[in-house]
Amino acid sequence: MYSPAVENLITQLARLPGIGRRTAQRLAFYILRSPPDQALALADAIREVKEKIGVCEECFNLAEGPLCSICADARRDRTVICVVEDPSDVVAVERTHEYHGVYHVLGGALSPIDGVDPEHLRIAELLRRVEANAAVEVVLATNPTMTGEATAVYIADRLRGRCRVTRLASGLPVGGDLEYADEVTLGRAFSGRREM
């Protein structure tokens, strides 16, 4: 057993994804040994993002204000909505420079095993936005994984007859993450999107 302060640091670190208790211990000891300003810079950085960065009221992307930089940009086409799982996917699609519409960040993908049902994702908000923006096309850019596929199928069923619904072309590595696709592949998947 370590002192309560050290124990608390280990516990907090171990809550991060992909970090087990062993790694958390190693990180904690590294922090204990490092110079005070370096360690505190990490604490400050965490505080700063939590204070400054919130969620966009429109699309649920990360935002430094009520709206994200994309929703705040008047040149973006609001009648085309690209649906992604996470904010990191917005970054991936933006890198392709192929897309000029807006986004909708669901906050994950359907996965009953993990207890993620439709009401845990921002699907109702998406359906409202489609009406409000008089959207002409929704591009389903959830990951080419089982859960991403299920999410796309679920949303497509609910949008049928309301607007054009498309899905990124195959060619993306199956089971992979949008986030890790290179911009050429992703750009091609975007321009080759098909009706669902």
Partner 1 sequence: MRAVTVRGSDFRCYERVAVELPPGLVGVVGPNGAGKTALIEMIHFGCLGYSPRTTSEAQVVRFGAELLRVETDVAVSGGPVSVEIGYRPGEPKRITVNGAAERSVERLLGRFPVLVFTPDRLRLVQGAPALRRAYFDRVLARLWPAPAAASAEYARRLSQRNHLLRRVRAGRAEPGALDPWDRLLAEAGEQLIAARARLCTRLAGPFAGRLGALGGDPGEDPLRYRPNVEPGRSLEAALIERRGRDIERAVTGAGPHLDDVLLFEHDRDLRLYGSQGEQRRALLGLILAEADLLSEERDEPPLLLLDDVTGELDGERRRLLLEAVAGFDQAIVTTTDQADLGGAHASVLTVSGGRVAA
Tell me the closest approach of the beta carbon of residue 84 to Zn ion, in angstroms: 12
The Cβ of residue 155 has, within 10 Å, a number of other Cβ atoms equal to 26
Residue 176 interacts with, from Zn ion, partner 1, none (CB under 5-8 Å by kind): none
User: Nearest approach, Cβ of 118 to partner 1 (angstroms)?
Assistant: 5
Degrees (nearest 5) of the Cα angle 125, 126, 127?
Answer: 90
Interacting residues of 47 by C-beta distance below 8 A, sequence separation 6+? none
- Quote the CA–CA distance of 188 and 141 in Å, as a whole number: 13
Task: Tell whether residue 154 is a contact of partner 1 (CB under 8 A).
Answer: yes
Q: Smallest distance, Å, CB 60 to Zn ion? A: 7
What is the per-residue burial (b if ≥16 Cβ within 10 Å, else e) of 62-80? Answer: bbeeeebebbeeeeeeeeb
Q: How many residues does the chain have?
A: 196
User: Rounded distance, CA 164 to CA 71, Å?
Assistant: 21
Helix (H) or strand (E) holding 82: strand 77-84
Please identify, among the stretches 1-9, 41-49, 59-67, 181-189, the one whose residues bind Zn ion according to the rule CB under 5 A: 59-67
Q: Does 161 bind partner 1 (CB under 8 A)?
A: no
189 is a site residue for Zn ion (CB under 5 A):
no
Distance CA 179, CA 98 (A): 16
- Name the minimum Å distance from CB 113 to partner 1: 5
Which of partner 1, Zn ion, none has residue 153 at its interface (CB below 5 to 8 Å by kind)? partner 1
Residue of 71, 90, 93, 189 that binds Zn ion (CB under 5 A): 71
Could you tell me which stretch among 25-33, 37-45, 153-161, 186-194 binds partner 1 (CB under 8 A)? 153-161
> What residues make contact with partner 1 under the rule CB under 8 A?
110-113, 115, 117-119, 146-147, 149-154, 157
> What residues make contact with Zn ion under the rule CB under 5 A?
56, 58-59, 61, 68, 71
